[in-house]
């Protein structure tokens, strides 16, 4: 730490939404030359505190101080003028999808009063390239529309633009939720350099191993209140205990054993999901949870899209209980009992203007339709509340709008949707984005104890996330299945080796 005088402070912060008390008497100090990790369970109040600091919520109790002086930011633009730059958890809040990469990177200059870059494409591109250099975004086409990019690239653009403002306090809310390990390492290097340059960094993440690796101090918010501050050195277990108390092990960690001559619940036979992909062969048995891990771009999402009827395979077969199926649409996939929680929650999973109830029951409205098509509202409400309680969604009622929830609770609603009814295959593509360790534990416990008649695919780039729930780990690399291990024989070094193999090594395997 380069200074013991905090650059930004929050003092006795309180905030209510109707009858719900989101924050109560929360105080933290953020010092120059320090990475301050902020943790808490979903709904604890982390996002509310961030939105107060960055000017999104100007109406609150308490004070935000910069260099010891109280300020009141009435908008994010005001906060930026005070040197507070924020990259939010919801990626599309940080980029404009209908603008080019260059325009997004140079957005601050485009919106400035001088408008020096306005309508000057060469200047916009030159400015954008200078900004992209700081995050090594050489692979991006400056003229491509951001809406055409992956979530990973959109996230990196938002972070690069925030860094370009040389902020006094840089707030990063779940910055690695949609980027690869290699890109995360690049980001961590940049953050360490910024810290060395005296920047104060507020780092919010549910990936506690990142907090352990990066943070100098950790602040805990628990049920809207100040839960303490941990000083380095600290361990992940200490952070977890401060957040949620003691937790037991995941229930039922005994992998199911296929019976002799048992027909797989799901089988992939020489399935080619893309013209450049290798054939995939995989068997998943009833009650089995298979975790598929690999870097972003390894082919996990492409496989999920084929199974869920979003894209058609090039060749090969998908079999359910030994019978070939070929979903040509999402509706056909759902009718075949194939469900999916997609990676991109904001764009592909939730309807912001709908209630929690409608977001959960939407794919199965026919189940709640009675005589003459009238909705059986009591049954719909009963089933919704059953899943809210089972998964632990923190909300006022099932009639609350989903966009009123924290990102992690929105994710739990999406997971609850597909766990509400029986399935043949449930695909969870990066299901733990923005989900805290307690909520992840609750989801996994429910999966293991209530989903024994179907098969599950849990896809995550984070190896620890799949190890926590899976009976068997399958590694994908460069669109190939390069190896697998049962949970009883896990060798992390081998799994990581398979994950990190080069393209040349993969081609030799082919």
The single residue listed with the structure tokens 């949870």 is 289
Tokens linked to 128: 């954008």
**Size of the chain, expressed as the number of residues it contains:** 510
* DSSP calls for 292-344: EE--TTSSHHHHHHHHTTSS--SEEEEEETTEEE---SHHHHHHTTEEEE-S-
Instruction: Report whether pLDDT(252) > 60.
Output: no
CATH number for the segment(s) 8-244: 3.40.50.300
Distance CA 257, CA 497 (A): 27
Element (H, E) at 159: helix 151-164
Tokens linked to 340: 């999916």
Instruction: Report whether pLDDT(239) > 50.
Output: yes
More reliable by pLDDT, 493 or 340: 340
3-class SS of residue 222: strand
Q: Where are the domains of the chain?
A: 8-244, 266-509
Q: Which of 65-69, 364-368, 370-374 has the highest mean pLDDT?
A: 65-69
Lowest mean pLDDT among 138-142, 254-258, 411-415: 254-258
Burial of 257 (0-12, 13-18, 19+ CB in 10 A): exposed
- Taking only Cα atoms into account, the Rg of the chain, rounded to an integer number of angstroms, comes to 24
**Structure confidence at residue 414 as a pLDDT band (50, 70, 90):** very high
Report the pLDDT averaged over residues 440-455.
Answer: 86
Q: Which of 188-197, 420-429, 500-509 has the highest mean pLDDT?
A: 420-429
- pLDDT recorded at residue 332: 96
pLDDT in tens, 266-289: 999 999 998 888 899 999 999 999
Report the pLDDT averaged over residues 211-234.
Answer: 91
End-to-end CA distance of the chain: 50
Instruction: Report whether pLDDT(1) > 50.
Output: no
Instruction: Report whether pLDDT(505) > 90.
Output: no
3-class SS of residue 228: strand
Residue 415 has phi, psi (to 5 degrees) of -65, -40
Q: What is the pTM of this model?
A: 0.66
**% residues pLDDT > 90 (the chain):** 45
Nearest of 420, 447, 421 to residue 432 by alpha carbon: 447
Element (H, E) at 49: helix 46-53
> Order of strands, edge to edge, in the sheet holding 169-173?
84-87, 169-173, 200-204, 34-39, 217-222, 225-231
- pLDDT recorded at residue 122: 85
Nearest of 184, 171, 80 to residue 463 by alpha carbon: 184
Strand pairing category for 425-429 and 455-459: parallel
- pLDDT recorded at residue 251: 42
Report the pLDDT averaged over residues 430-434.
Answer: 80
Strand pairing category for 472-477 and 455-459: unpaired
Task: Output the CA torsion 326→328→331→336 (10° steps).
Answer: 0
Element (H, E) at 63: strand 61-66
Write out the CATH class of domain 266-509.
alpha beta
Are 255 and 486 in contact by the 8 Å Cβ rule? The answer is yes
Distance CA 443, CA 252 (A): 13
Instruction: Report whether pLDDT(177) > 90.
Output: no
pLDDT in tens, 305-337: 999 999 999 999 999 999 999 999 999 999 999
- pLDDT recorded at residue 253: 59
Tokens linked to 175: 């910055």
pLDDT in tens, 201-210: 999 988 888 8
Please compute, for residue 400, the number of CA atoms within 13 A of its CA located in the half-sphere on the CB side.
19
pLDDT mean across residues, the chain: 87
Nearest of 64, 58, 56, 90 to residue 6 by alpha carbon: 64
| Beta strand extents in 68-198 (DSSP E only) | 69-71, 84-87, 169-173
Distance CA 449, CA 140 (A): 44
3-class SS of residue 204: strand
Tokens linked to 63: 């004070």
């Amino acid at each position: 730490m380069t200074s013991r005088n905090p650059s930004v402070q929050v003092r006795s912060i309180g905030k209510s939404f109707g009858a719900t008390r989101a924050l109560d008497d929360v105080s933290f100090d953020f010092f120059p030359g320090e990475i301050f990790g902020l943790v808490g369970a979903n709904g604890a109040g982390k996002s509310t505190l961030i939105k107060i600091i960055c000017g999104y919520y100007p109406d609150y109790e308490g004070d935000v101080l910069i260099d010891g002086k109280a300020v009141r930011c009435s908008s994010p633009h005001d906060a930026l003028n005070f040197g507070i730059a924020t990259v939010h958890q919801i990626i599309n809040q940080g980029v404009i999808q209908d603008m080019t990469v260059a325009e997004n990177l140079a957005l601050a200059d485009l919106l400035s009063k001088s408008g020096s870059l306005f309508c000057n494409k060469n200047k916009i591109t030159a400015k954008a390239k200078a900004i992209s250099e700081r995050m090594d975004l050489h692979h991006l086409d400056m003229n491509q529309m951001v809406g055409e990019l992956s979530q990973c690239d959109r996230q990196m653009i938002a972070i690069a633009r925030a860094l370009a403002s040389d902020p006094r306090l840089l707030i990063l809310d779940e910055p690695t939720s949609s980027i690869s390990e290699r890109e995360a390492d690049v980001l961590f290097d940049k953050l360490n350099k910024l810290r060395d340059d005296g920047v104060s960094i507020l780092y919010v993440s549910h990936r506690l191993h990142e907090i352990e690796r990066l943070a100098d101090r950790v602040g805990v918010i628990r049920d809207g209140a100040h839960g303490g501050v941990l000083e380095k050195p600290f361990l992940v277990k200490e952070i977890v205990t401060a957040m949620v108390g003691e937790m037991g092990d995941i229930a039922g960690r005994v992998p199911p054993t296929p019976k002799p001559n048992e027909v797989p619940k799901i089988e992939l036979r020489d399935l080619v999901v893309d013209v450049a992909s290798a054939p995939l062969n995989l068997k998943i048995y009833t009650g089995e949870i298979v975790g598929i891990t690999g870097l972003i771009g390894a082919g996990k999402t492409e496989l999920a899209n084929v199974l869920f009827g979003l894209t058609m395979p090039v060749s090969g077969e998908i079999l359910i209980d030994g019978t070939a199926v070929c979903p040509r649409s999402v509706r056909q996939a759902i009718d075949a009992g194939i469900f999916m929680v997609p990676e991109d929650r904001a764009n592909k999973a939730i309807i912001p203007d709908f209630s929690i109830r409608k977001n959960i029951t939407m794919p199965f409205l026919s189940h709640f339709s009675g005589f003459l098509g009238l909705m059986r509202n009591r049954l719909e409400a009963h089933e919704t509340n059953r899943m809210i309680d089972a998964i632990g969604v923190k909300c006022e009622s099932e009639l609350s709008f989903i966009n009123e929830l924290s990102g992690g609770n929105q994710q739990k609603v999406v997971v609850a949707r597909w766990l509400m009814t029986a399935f043949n295959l449930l695909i969870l593509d990066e299901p733990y984005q923005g989900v805290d360790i307690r909520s992840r534990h609750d989801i996994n416990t429910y999966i293991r104890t209530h989903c024994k008649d179907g098969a599950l695919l849990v896809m995550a780039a984070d190896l620890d996330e799949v190890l926590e729930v899976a009976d068997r780990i399958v590694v994908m690399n460069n669109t190939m299945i390069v190896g697998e291990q049962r949970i009883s024989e896990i060798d992390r070094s081998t799994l990581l080796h398979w994950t990190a193999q080069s393209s040349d090594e993969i081609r030799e395997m082919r």
